[in-house]
Amino acid sequence: MSYQALARKWRPRRFADVVGQDHVVNALRNAIQQDRVHHAFLFSGTRGVGKTTLARILAKAVNCEQGPQAEPCGECGACQGVDEGRFIDLIEIDAASRTRVDDTREILDNVQYAPTQGRYKIYLIDEVHMLSGHSFNALLKTLEEPPSHVKFLLATTDPQKLPATILSRCLQFNLRLLTAQEISGQLETIVRAEELSFDDVGLDILSRAADGSMRDGLSLLDQSIAFGDGSVTGREVRDMLGMIESHHVDAILRALAGKDGAGLIETVASMAERPIDYSGALDELLTVLHNVSLFQILPDAVAAKQADSDLVKDLALSLSKEDVQLYYQIGLMGKRDLPLAPGPASGFEMTMLRMFTFSPDAGDDAGGGPSPGGATSVSPPGATGKKAARQSPRIKTTSGPSGKSNVALDSGQGSGVEKKRAGRNGKNKTELSLSDPAVWTGFVEDSDFTGVTQELAMNLCPKTYDPETRVLTLSLVAGLASMRSPSRQKMLEEKLEAFCGVSVRLEITDDGEISGETPGMARARREQEEKDAALQTLMDDPTVQDLVSAFDATVVPESVRPGKQQRNSE
């Protein structure tokens, strides 16, 4: 007898066998028991979660010879006919290969005829979203006024592509992704029934790799059985999937926690001795870091997930919460940048070096804190307290040659007077100069405001700043009071806090008394200066002077635009 794939052999044949879709199963059972079976059902969800399986079970339940019942008997001719694919009143259609309107009309021409064997004629249309527009139109009329002996069961992975007219005529059931625990439990049931050797680690890896699809999990189980010569163990599954070894994960994270650079590089180098999916390796590390962070905040939640291993507990004690969050973020960025690296191995190694090199800034009275844009400032390992704060960059605002406000990072090596002033008042240089219009202009140009919020910021000018209450009063250009709103002011305050490192409250007046230069005025002034400089450069050019002299020509000033090179030089 030929071998039958596990995904086919273990396909559920009763509602009770369906895993993870109780919300759909209960609704279908209730509809059958109450004799309220709709004429059209739509099952949607990703691949391998049970759409066509549920449709076939429903077809058996309504055609079962024991009478329509919530659970098909599985023994009558109708039930066995559906299971074996020979029930003549179940017409299965693959819409992906029969998209033409002629195909649809050919199928629907037989709708009017009564069923031959069963109680109902069932049309099961898989991947229904692949039908053409004309095919949907042909189907719509039948869905609108179907004969009493016809039921339509539609399945799709992309319900958004179905016309609203089709959706409105169907009962819609969204099948969810299965959890790793649900898939793992079903895999364990199968391997025990198949009398195969296995371990929990192997099944856990397969259930995570299935990514919510039971069919994918069964296909991977088939593959691992062949790979492991009849056994399913963690080591063999990792080799099959090209995954990082568990002891590598353990060694890398313990090396990071212990600041053991040599051990970290040695572990990464040993990984190259076998084929590794480095993106999957980062996933493994991120999963452990997620469990560590969860253990630090909600230990009971990790215990419920059965993820409270010795490694997770040890790391939760040896790493700070900030370290775990930073490592997780670096891992995410490393996974995103992995395809851009010269090679996957070097990209993975660089990600590990980033985790080793950087740590969250302690942030003290020397001015450490969030950097512009809200990103967490970091310092090299070993730099703590005041030393870390000195190494953490601070914002420095200066005025450029043309009056343009330049925002730069201060390395912290300023004069002793400035440092004493900042230390005494607990405020950095940027905060103390918030009343300077040039500082406000630099803040607005450094922030990524858009839309009306940007226009509001561009037309504000500082009046006064009270360092004790941290209230910055600004004037709004006359006639623009409609731009003000609590949400826009809150956005300005959040960006300003990220800009200068302290919380600042804004008070905006619309009296129109502008005592300085708004960012909008500064931009207009710079643009005019650039135009004047470009015009002067053009007029000083000998070739232009010759043309003006020879042809009695005139240069139109409005036609002169500063070039990109000139803007960059300024």
Q: Residue 172: its pLDDT value, please?
A: 92
Helix residue ranges, H only, 426-485: 429-432, 437-446, 451-458
| 512 pLDDT more than 70 | yes
| 478 pLDDT more than 50 | yes
Kind of pairing, strands 359-360 and 378-379?
antiparallel
Output the six-digit token pair for 412.
């912290």
| 84 pLDDT more than 70 | yes
| End-to-end CA gap in the chain | 82
Please choose, from the candidates 256, 500, 498, the residue with its C-alpha nearest in 3D space to the C-alpha of residue 359.
256
Q: Residue 230: its pLDDT value, please?
A: 85
% of the chain with per-residue pLDDT over 90: 24
User: Per CATH, which fold does 6-174 belong to?
Assistant: Rossmann fold (3.40.50)
Please choose, from the candidates 186, 207, 196, the residue with its C-alpha nearest in 3D space to the C-alpha of residue 305.
207
pLDDT band of residue 386 (cuts 50, 70, 90) is very low
- Model pLDDT for residues 265-315, shown as the tens digit of each residue: 999 988 887 778 888 889 889 989 998 998 888 887 776 666 667 888 888
| 403 pLDDT more than 70 | no
Could you give the C-alpha distances from 319 to 58, 215, 268, 300, in angstroms and in order?
53, 39, 20, 19
pTM score: 0.55
Query: How much is the average pLDDT of 350-368?
Result: 69
pLDDT band of residue 361 (cuts 50, 70, 90) is low
User: Per CATH, which fold does 246-357 belong to?
Assistant: Zinc Finger, Delta Prime; domain 3 (1.20.272)
What value does the mean pLDDT of the chain take? 80
The structural domains of the chain, with segments of one domain joined by +, span 6-174, 180-241, 246-357, 393-517, 521-569
- Model pLDDT for residues 517-563, shown as the tens digit of each residue: 899 898 888 888 888 888 888 888 888 888 878 777 787 777 777 76
Q: What is the DSSP letter of 367?
A: T
In order, the DSSP letters of 515-547 are: -S--HHHHHHHHHHHHHHHHHHHHHH-HHHHHH
- Give the H/E segment covering residue 485: none
pLDDT band of residue 413 (cuts 50, 70, 90) is very low
| 374 pLDDT more than 50 | no
Could you give the C-alpha distances from 331 to 194, 282, 379, in angstroms and in order?
39, 6, 18
The lowest-confidence range among 10-24, 107-121, 254-268 is 107-121
CA distance 207 to 17: 18
% of the chain with per-residue pLDDT over 70: 84
- Return the CATH superfamily for domain 393-517: DNA polymerase III, tau subunit, domain V (3.30.300.150)
Q: Residue 202: its pLDDT value, please?
A: 87
User: Which amino acid is present at 415?
Assistant: S
| 115 pLDDT more than 50 | yes
Q: Residue 68: its pLDDT value, please?
A: 84
pLDDT band of residue 370 (cuts 50, 70, 90) is very low
Please choose, from the candidates 513, 456, 444, the residue with its C-alpha nearest in 3D space to the C-alpha of residue 483.
456
Please choose, from the candidates 428, 283, 288, the residue with its C-alpha nearest in 3D space to the C-alpha of residue 369.
428
- Given the candidates 3.30.70.580, 1.10.8.60, 1.10.220.110, 1.10.10.10, the CATH classification of the domain at 180-241 is 1.10.8.60
Q: Residue 28: its pLDDT value, please?
A: 93
Q: Residue 388: its pLDDT value, please?
A: 39
Classified as helix, coil or strand, 122 is strand
Per residue in 505-520, is it b (16+ CB within 10 Å) or e — as a string?
Answer: eeebeeeeebebbbbb
Please choose, from the candidates 132, 176, 136, the residue with its C-alpha nearest in 3D space to the C-alpha of residue 152.
136
In contact, 204 and 181? CB cutoff 8 Å? no
- Model pLDDT for residues 423-469, shown as the tens digit of each residue: 334 445 455 578 888 888 888 988 888 888 888 899 999 988 888 88
Query: How much is the average pLDDT of 184-204?
Result: 89
CA torsion sign for 335, 341, 342, 345 is negative
Please choose, from the candidates 359, 361, 433, 427, the residue with its C-alpha nearest in 3D space to the C-alpha of residue 392.
361
In contact, 461 and 518? CB cutoff 8 Å? yes
